């Protein structure tokens, strides 16, 4: 198992639409501070990118788990609206701003974040919401399980399968071994769904974990990464890692210092906790049945 060394503290319209009107590059304009409501989104792990000022409104794109939202903030920072901006001729200014941003130095990173099926994101949000309705816990294990339900995770495996949560470091070989133990027979056949809670103990692994939370196809990218594709999770310096920092804070609050660290609710209702790679994953499957 990998031990912690230290904790580092929609667009529904097609972007193929072309427009002749020139929109000044966001990079050429001075980026204003994020207003508090948008800062809250960033603190939750959303990737925020400045679209520039158009008609006195500062535009922002927020991307979380591949789903995009667009915000326009008044220059005094006191008010904002969510949605698409149109010009006086009825053309979508937002599309042109996004195209301009994609052509910038940040475009490659931006493209990695966009394109998740919103139904998948809605399902994950609903699962988190249901988990967060619990207010009383009989045991610390129940509290721990609830904390993991409400952490930032990505699902691997079939949606209707029994759930297992695990803190995973992208570079941890024991994490890879554990997931390979589940891969194929158990994940592919619907015996278990693994909800990976990405963390990192170095700057580069934190960046990879943050990217895993942001991209629209995390399961595919994760398995490419495990199979040795170094382009699947490139450690980007230009990425918001607040979602990972929140996961690290959960680890720290429970004094967890190893990966993988796995928690699941057995069919009996008992919360089971495993530190490190499970010696026999079939015992987990039997517990879940």
pLDDT score for 239: 83
Give the model's pLDDT for residue 127: 54
Task: Tell me the C-alpha distance between 235 and 204, whole Å.
Answer: 5
Same-domain pairing of 164 and 260: yes
- Asked if residue 122 and residue 107 are part of one domain, the reply reads no
In a domain, 5, yes or no: no
196 found inside a domain: yes
The enclosing domain of 53 has a CATH number of 3.10.450.70
Q: Which residue among 68, 90, 113 closes a domain?
A: 113
Paired sense of beta strands 193-198 and 163-168, if any: parallel
Residues 55 and 137 in one domain: no
Q: Which domain holds residue 93?
A: 10-113
Q: What is residue 126's predicted lDDT score, i.e. its pLDDT?
A: 54
Segments of the chain with pLDDT less than 70: 3-29, 65-66, 105-138
**Length, in residues, of the chain:** 289
Model pTM score: 0.65
pLDDT recorded at residue 15: 33
Residues 56, 74: Cα–Cα separation, whole Å: 7
Q: Is 208 helix (H, G, I), strand (E, B) or coil?
A: helix
Please report the pLDDT score of residue 138 as a whole number.
67
Same domain? For 280 and 138 the reply is: yes
Q: Are residues 164 and 76 in the same domain?
A: no
């Amino acid at each position: 198992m990998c031990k912690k060394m230290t904790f580092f503290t929609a667009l529904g319209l097609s972007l193929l639409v072309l427009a002749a009107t020139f929109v000044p590059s966001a990079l050429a304009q001075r980026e204003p501070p994020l207003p508090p409501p948008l800062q809250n989104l960033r603190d939750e792990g959303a990737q925020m990118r400045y679209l520039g000022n158009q008609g006195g409104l500062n535009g922002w794109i927020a991307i979380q788990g591949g789903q995009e939202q667009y915000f326009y903030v008044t220059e005094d920072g006191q008010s904002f609206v969510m949605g698409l901006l149109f010009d006086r001729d009825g053309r979508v200014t937002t599309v042109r701003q996004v195209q301009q941003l994609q052509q910038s130095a940040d475009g490659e990173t931006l493209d990695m974040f966009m394109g998740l099926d919103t139904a998948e994101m809605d399902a994950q949000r609903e699962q988190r919401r249901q988990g967060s309705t619990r207010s009383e816990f009989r045991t610390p294990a129940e509290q721990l399980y609830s904390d993991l339900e409400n952490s930032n995770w990505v699902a691997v495996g079939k949606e209707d399968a029994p759930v297992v949560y695990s803190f995973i470091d992208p570079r941890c070989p024991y994490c890879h071994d554990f997931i390979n133990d589940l891969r194929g027979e158990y994940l592919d056949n619907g015996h278990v769904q693994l909800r990976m809670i990405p963390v990192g103990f170095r700057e580069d692994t934190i960046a990879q974990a943050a990217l895993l939370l942001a991209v629209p196809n995390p399961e595919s990218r994760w398995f490419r990464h495990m199979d040795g594709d170094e382009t699947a999770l490139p450690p980007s310096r230009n990425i918001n890692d607040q979602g990972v920092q929140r996961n690290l804070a959960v680890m720290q609050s429970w004094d967890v210092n190893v990966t993988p660290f796995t928690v699941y609710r057995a069919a009996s209702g008992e919360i089971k906790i495993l530190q490190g790679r499970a010696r026999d994953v079939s015992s987990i499957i039997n517990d879940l049945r």
